[in-house]
Structure 1
Amino acid sequence: MRDGLTVLRTWLQASRLPSQSYIALPLLLGQVVAARTQGRALDLGMLVGVQLFGLLDQLFIVYANDWADQETDRRNRTPTLFSGGSRVLVEGRLPARALGRAALVCAGALLALSAGLAVARGTLLLVPLAVAALALLWAYSYPPLRLSYRGGGELLQMVGVAGVLPLYGYVAQGGALGSFPWALLALLLPTHLGCAIATSLPDEPSDRESGKYTLPARVGGERAAWVIVALNGLSLALAPFGLGAVGLSAGAGLLVPAVAALAVVLVRPAPPGSRLIQIRVAAAITATLALVMIPLLGLAAR
């Protein structure tokens, strides 16, 4: 019994379930946008299917990334809740082969589920969107591109989380691609790029040592923090247009992401391994999630 609980705890650690929020909220936002623009309630069966897609996608990402980054993670002496991998391979708690197989199972299940949802909804677009989600991770972590090591990994994260996922949810709930509120997507993209940069801040030393060209590894954490603030500032500037595209207006709620973004540079100095770096990353994540939640809650309340 005790051995079974140990195995369960190990797989829960490997699964890094707190990161599910990055996936679940954009998917849910896309679905709510589709339902509200069509003047109808959410299809609950499709809602469950889409959020299950998100769970499989998130598990694929964390398992596949742990497998691809295991050597870099072994060099990482400043891991946090937000970065540095799950540590199950570094600590020898799981064999790499088991994690690789789990990633492949999640990828296969994700594609099968998307095919089923596509048939149920009568739109094949869900399948190429699912393939795009898998391809972005492959391009991020695996040869021949391995863009997280060559530069550009943060851009791939932005496209996947703020682009592919809202579109997937929107199409799954019957939204017509030509009617998608692209201004809302423009609002989401910069802040998600900032979030992708922020989660690599604690890994700056090991990333630089491993030749992983994240922005913090190239320019340093303090300069990267200012880039994060600028990106969130761009999202805030675009907020009236993005929110207006779905019939909402910019309000006092935007103070939450604004204050959180400012905290990224006000909390300093924040070297990797310090408590302040965790506060800095949490502030950047808060700003991004708030900018997703504002239209989500606004539409849900209508």
Structure 2
Amino acid sequence: MRGQPLDLGTLVGVQLFGLLDQLFIVYANDWADQETDRRNRTPTVFSGGSRVLVEGRLSPRAIGTAALVCAGSLLAVSVGLAVARGAPLLVPLAVLALGLLWAYSYPPLRLSYRGGGEALQAVGVAGVLPLYGYLAQGGALGSFPWALVALLLPTHLACSIATALPDEPSDRESGKLTLPARIGGERASWGILALNGLTLALAPFGMASVGLSAGAWWLVPALAALAVPLVRPAPPGSKRVQVRVAAAITATLAAVALPLLLLAAS
């Protein structure tokens, strides 16, 4: 796709898809997790749900309706893009995006409670969303840069684990098997560093797959990832745990931004 013009209408449609998907995830997950969120005494700006149900600002019915509206709108946008761009795979990708949240929060799988919820998040953000945008802009499935996805998957998984750090007590109480709830926040923080280290190790190969080289700017996500276990102790409810989560998010955002900026400049 390099060297081809960017279709602005398609860009708007893809961004609308991403916004609707995010809103669907927030609303549907809030509805599914309302009992766990009520037990959460350590919420942060990164975790613990939106709190609108816990604080009584919206009803479960309103949240459920909003989730359904977003899901329907997401599918409608995808059908429109599929027809306009001649990209029929956008529709099953949209269904997959909805299915990932269902598998995450709802029976029979409910993997956020059984273990594996973080992996679903990583697949959605690092896999489904980039592939959706690529196909919408006219890319062929066979030429999709899978090595770049492989590069970004570990850091997205690390970020998903990090956002569960503040919720460790209520998740453990509710039987929600996030990695921090299973092994503790301190051990999980070293796992976050290891996953980001894997992304750094894959960077030369992933960048080369799109004609780029890994340069010194990769020190930014490296240093941010290193801060995750070094900011300690960071128990849930403390300011340090928020710094720890922010550092993990920074590492992931930097890893995503680097290839994007270099591709835009090339």
Common topology (TM > 0.5): yes
Deviation at 1:151, TM superposition (A): 0.4
- What is the CA-CA distance between 1:40 and the residue it aligns to? 1.1
What secondary structure does 2:214 align onto? Answer: coil
Question: Aligned partner of 2:158: which letter?
Answer: G
Matches within 5 A, 1:93-104: 93-104=57-68
Q: Residues 102-130 of structure 1: CA distance to partner in whole angstroms, max 9, x if unpaired?
A: 00000000000000000001111000000
- Please point out which of 166, 175, 179 is paired with 2:139: 175
Specify the alignment match of 1:230 in structure 2.
Answer: 194
Question: Which residue type is aligned with residue 174 of structure 2?
Answer: S
1:130 is matched with 94
Residues 243-291 of structure 1: CA deviation (Å, up to 9, x unaligned): 1111111011101100000000110000000000000000000000101
Q: Does 2:78 correspond to 1:114?
A: yes
Structure 2 residue 265 is matched with structure 1 residue 301: yes
Q: In the aligned structure 1, how far is the partner of 2:5 from the partner of 2:67?
A: 34
* Higher relative contact order structure (alpha carbons within 8 Å, sequence separation ≥ 6): 1
Residues in 2 aligned to 1:186 and 1:147: alpha-carbon distance in whole angstroms = 22
- The amino acid of 2:229's aligned partner reads V
Pick aligned residue for 2:185 from 213, 221, 235: 221
Q: CA deviation at 1:186?
A: 0.6
Give 1:186's aligned residue.
150
SS for the counterpart of 1:143 is coil
1:41 is displaced (CA, Å) by: 1.7
> Match of 1:57, SS?
helix
Residue 16 of structure 2: aligned partner: 52
SS in 1 for 2:55: coil
Runs of 4+ in structure 1 displaced over 3 angstroms? Answer: none
Which of 90, 105, 110 lines up with 1:146 in the alignment? Answer: 110
Cα deviation, 1:63-98, whole Å, max 9, x if unaligned, reads 000000000000000000000000000000000100
Map residues 150-161 of structure 1 onto 2, 5 A cutoff. 150-161=114-125
For the residues of structure 1 that align with 2:260 and 2:159, how far apart are their CA atoms?
A: 19
**Aligned with 2:159 (options 195, 199, 203):** 195
TM-score by length of 2: 0.99
Kindly report which structure 2 residues correspond to 1:271-282, keeping only aligned pairs within 5 A, or say none: 271-282=235-246
Q: Say which SS state the counterpart of residue 256 (structure 1) adopts.
A: helix
Give 1:182 shift.
1.0
State how far apart, in whole Å, the 2-side matches of 1:282 and 1:41 are.
35
- SS of residue in 2 equivalent to 1:271: coil
Q: Which amino acid aligns with 1:254?
A: W
Deviation at 1:160, TM superposition (A): 0.5
Query: SS at 1:52's partner residue?
Result: helix
Count of aligned pairs = 266
Q: Kindly state the Cα deviation for residue 181 of structure 1 after the two structures are TM-superposed.
A: 1.1
Query: 1:252 aligned to 208, 216, 227, which one?
Result: 216
* Equivalent position of 2:227 in the other structure: 263
Report the secondary structure of 1:40's partner residue.
coil
**For 1:265 and 1:145, how far apart are their aligned partners in 2?**
31
Identity among equivalent positions (%) equals 83
> Structure 2: how far apart are the matches of 1:237 and 1:294?
15
Match of 1:71 in 2: 35
Let me know the Cα RMSD of the aligned residues: 0.5
Distance 2:160 2:5 in 1: 33
Any unmatched runs of 5+ in structure 2? none
